[in-house]
Amino acid sequence: MNYWPLLGVAIVVAGFAWRLNPALVVVVAGIASGLLAGLTVPDLLALLGRSFVSNRTLLVIVLTLPTIGLLERAGLRERAHAWILGLRRLTFARLLIAYLALRQIVSMFGLTNVAGHAQTVRPLLAPMAEAAAGKIDPALDDDELERIKALAAATDNVGLFFGEDVFIAFGAVLLIQAFFSQHGIEMDPRSIAIWALPTAIAAFVIHALRIAWFQRGIGKPGRARRGSIAQETSDVAH
Amino acid sequence: MLRIEYVYWLCGALFLAASAFDLASRRYASAAFWAILSACFFGGDAIEAAAAAGNVVPAQLGGIAVIALALIAGSGALKRRATSDEDLPQRRASAERLGNRLFLPALAIPFVTLALVLVLPYLKEANLDVFDTRQTTLVVLGVACVIAALAAMALTRATPLAAFREGSRLLDALSWAALLPMLLATLGAVFAKTGVGDAVAQIVSAAIPTQSRDACVLAYGLGMALFTIIMGNAFAAFPVMTAGVGLPLLIGQHHGHAAVVGALGMLCGYCGTLLTPMAANFNIVPVALLELRDPNAVIRAQWPTAVVLFAVNLLLLDWLAFR
């Protein structure tokens, strides 16, 4: 076994740790790993090019940007903000927990693309969460607003990940089935998806509790201190 | 029939527009960056078709394009354009005037997608192949985006040119982060081809005491999470770790229930996805989209959920797989 290509992994870890530009780090790691495995330069270039274009699906989401951009210019985020302020009983925690539940249920039916960071989090959920937090403490500082927006994005991730696996036609379930089938173990996709259900419920409970806990701390001193650490480190980021 | 290629070409057109707008405002590095990416989207089918037919030259040109994109991103010449608050009074006035109608085009993206997905089986029954059978949901998403953009143009009385300009503005705000998911998937393919996965599985399986069932459960779960953190993708980790540890030890030696091992192994991997900047589309792209200053802000917000859930997964695996 040739262990040298593992150096590519080390390059990725070191590159991220030193906060070099991730795009550059990733390509350098790929080139290093390929050369250390004994690929020739022409073969490596072809592998890079072919894998890159075969993953174009990952960028289809940019098609949402013109709509989002036009609506933002026309005041979408301001409207989302005002709408939440008008709903007195919709608290920060209720908003995010309801979104989490909705995202999980919709993903369970295989509808993973209906929501996401570009489609729903930036234009709708993040400004709504800011507005709902503003009802608790109108004088939130930048660090706290940043943490609120990050939690909104995290909530979308948790809802997506631990909903989609319960859907039988989802890629993960089919991948598991295909893998075991190759190794002589046949199983029904339903029997795999069902075992993702306990984790889906646990994910909802854990993350909902964390959202409720987060709400208790909004506007309290001490939060701000922890937030300022993030600010110090962010200067060297880009 | 609406083919997935049309969706890619539409993306290519958006990148080309971003390139043109950047060129007009003398941001040459950004203009070059989007132009190269646009070429990859327009030429993608040709590259794949030629490679399948044995001609690797177009794919090699693609490889050179990937390196060029990485060099432009790494040179620091791409300046992120932050959203300005100069037009805040106009935005407030417009929000006042349009009211809740502003939500309609935004909600059209999820709801049109949903409606089309629900209609699909009936179209199939009637033998109307409107949508490509490959990547159907993405084609549907593309159609929903076009419909939503038309609705947004009608509502805000904007021209198609304005829609492209606003899309380009957001692309410039995303900058190289937009590209990262594709680059990481490419790295995953290189790692798979060069045997990185097998080497990791070899090391993990050599390091564990195989007689202890709990040690095997821990090694499999941790291996899935750690390998996912490295690769940024649980799908890449699953075949490697399950072939190396899950199948021979948990299922073979300790007679674990295969469906449970597979499902919970994958979910351990998902906990890893929540923890890694390598999962760029989930953890880095939103940082750019929400214009956060801390590049790890989203990971910071979700790591406690991931760690607790990982522990729950290990307990579930230990309990459910060996009843």
Supply the ipTM of this predicted assembly: 0.87
Q: Specify whether B234 is located in the same domain as B310.
A: yes
Q: What is the count of structural domains for chain A? A: 2
Residues A98 and A140 in one domain: yes
Question: Quick one: closest CA in B to A24, which residue?
Answer: B70
Alpha-carbon distances, residue A145 vs A139, B120, B317 (angstroms)? 10, 41, 38
Instruction: Mark yes or no for CB contact A114/B114 under 8 Å.
Output: yes
Q: What is the pTM of this model?
A: 0.86
Domain boundary among B146, B178, B210: B178
The residue out of A54, A71, A92 marking a domain boundary is A54
Residue A5 has pLDDT above 50, yes or no: yes
Residues B148 and B207 in one domain: no
| Phi, psi (rounded to 5 degrees) for B8 | -65, -40
- Indicate whether B195 and B302 sit together in one domain: yes
Q: Are residues B77 and B93 in the same domain?
A: no
- Distance of alpha carbon B224 from alpha carbon B250, whole angstroms: 14
Q: Which domain holds residue A155?
A: 61-234
A75 and A142 co-located in one domain: yes
Highest mean pLDDT among A131-145, A168-182, A217-231, B103-117: A131-145
Residues A191 and B263: their CA atoms lie apart, in Å, by 9
A28 with A99, same domain: the answer is no
> Which of helix, strand or coil describes residue B87?
coil
Asked if the model's pLDDT at residue A129 lies above 80, the reply is yes
Q: Which of B80, B193, B264 sits opposite A47 (nearest CB)?
A: B193
In this structure, are residues B134 and A34 in contact, taking their beta carbons and an 8 Å threshold? no
Is A236 part of the contact surface with chain B (CB cutoff 8 Å)?
Answer: no
Tell whether B289 and B223 lie within a shared domain.
Answer: yes
Residue numbers in B near A84 (CB within 8 A): none
Query: Which residues have C-beta within 8 Å of that of residue A164, sequence separation ≥ 6?
Result: A107, A108, A110, A112, A170, A172
Q: Residues 175..194 of A with a Cβ closer than 8 Å to B: which?
A: 175-176, 179-180, 183, 185, 187, 191-194
For chain B, how many structural domains are there in total?
A: 3
**Is residue A21 located within the same domain as residue A110?**
no
Same-domain status, B164 and B196: no
Residue with tokens 């059209």: B108
CB contact under 8 A, B166 and A65: yes
pLDDT at B201: 77
CA distance A15 to chain B (A): 11
Residue B6 lies in a domain: no
- Whether A202 and A93 map to the same domain: the answer is yes
Shortest alpha-carbon distance between residue B265 and chain A (Å): 10
Segment of A57-61, A106-110, B137-141, B145-149 carrying the highest mean pLDDT: B145-149
Q: Check whether residue A13 and residue A80 sit in a common domain.
A: no
- Identify whether residues B166 and B253 lie together within a single domain: no
Picking from A47, A121, A230, the nearest residue to B189 by CB comes out as: A47
Sign of CA dihedral B140, A204, B182, A116: positive
Cβ neighbours of B123 (radius 10 Å) = 13
Q: B63: nearest CA in chain A?
A: A49
Q: pLDDT tens digits, residue range B3-33? A: 889 999 999 999 999 999 999 988 999 999 9
CB A108 within 8 A of CB A164: yes
Domain boundary among A54, A71, A89: A54
A211 and A133 inside one domain? yes
Chain B: closest CA distance from residue A136 (Å): 20
Indicate if B49 and B166 belong to the same structural domain: no
Based on the domain organization, do B61 and B160 belong to the same domain?
no
Verify that A73 and A104 share a domain, yes or no.
yes
Q: Where are the alpha helices (DSSP H) in B2-135?
A: 4-24, 28-52, 57-74, 88-98, 103-125
Query: For A150, which of B142, B251, B292 is closest by C-beta distance?
Result: B292
| CA angle B286–B291–B293, rounded 5-degree value | 105
pLDDT the model gives residue A222: 54
**Helix or strand (DSSP H, E) at A103:** helix A92-108
Residue B149's domain comprises 88-178
Q: Convert the pLDDT of each residue in B149-185 to its tens digit.
A: 999 999 999 999 999 999 999 999 888 888 888 898 8
